[in-house]
Amino acid sequence: MKLSLSLAAAALALSATFAAAHEFKLGPLKIGHPWSRATPAGAKVGGGYLTIENSGTAPDRLVSISVPFAARAEVHEMATKDGVMTMRPMDNGVEVPAGAKVEFKPGGYHIMFMDLKQPLKQGEMMKGTLTFEKAGTVDVEFKVDSIAAKGGEGAHQGH
């Protein structure tokens, strides 16, 4: 019984450590759970999602993303107005207000990986670099989930 409890406690501690490892810090910014969906063979675009929390006293701005697995990455916003869904590039990036959290998720802000050089395969970790106007750059990894993943932090337990 003691061995079972010890193993359960160790597994829980390890999973908590692994979950925390999928967050990235840059000064007052915390980037939470970057992820993407798997893409079918031959797909030329993919999407990236994450959260950015600014615990600082000044706003910052995500101005660019670079990834080695695509020719370019762009910040986009998807919105619905009068029943019509639109998507547009955010040429000036996205502001992250002081004391606020911005979510990049399906149906809202997201990262478009353009001209993919390879399919995104479930289970892979894909490297990328985020550049902020004030805080600078931070290397992250996008966890590739299933092609049907809906996202959300709850979906990333154990990452």
Domain boundaries, the chain: 23-150
User: Token pair for residue 96?
Assistant: 């992250």
CATH architecture of the domain with range 23-150:
Sandwich (2.60)
Output the DSSP codes for 31-69: EEEEEEE---TT--EEEEEEEEEE-SSS-EEEEEEE-TT
In whole angstroms, what is the distance from residue 79 CA to residue 54 CA?
A: 23
pLDDT tens, position by position, for the chain (159 residues)? Answer: 444 444 444 444 443 334 445 899 999 999 999 999 999 999 999 999 999 999 999 999 999 999 999 999 999 999 888 889 888 999 999 999 999 999 999 999 999 999 999 999 999 999 999 999 999 999 999 999 999 888 754 444 333
Instruction: Calculate the alpha carbon distances from 53 to 33, 41, 150, 156 in Å.
Output: 12, 34, 21, 17
12 Rama class: left (phi>0) / alpha (psi -120 to 50) / beta: alpha
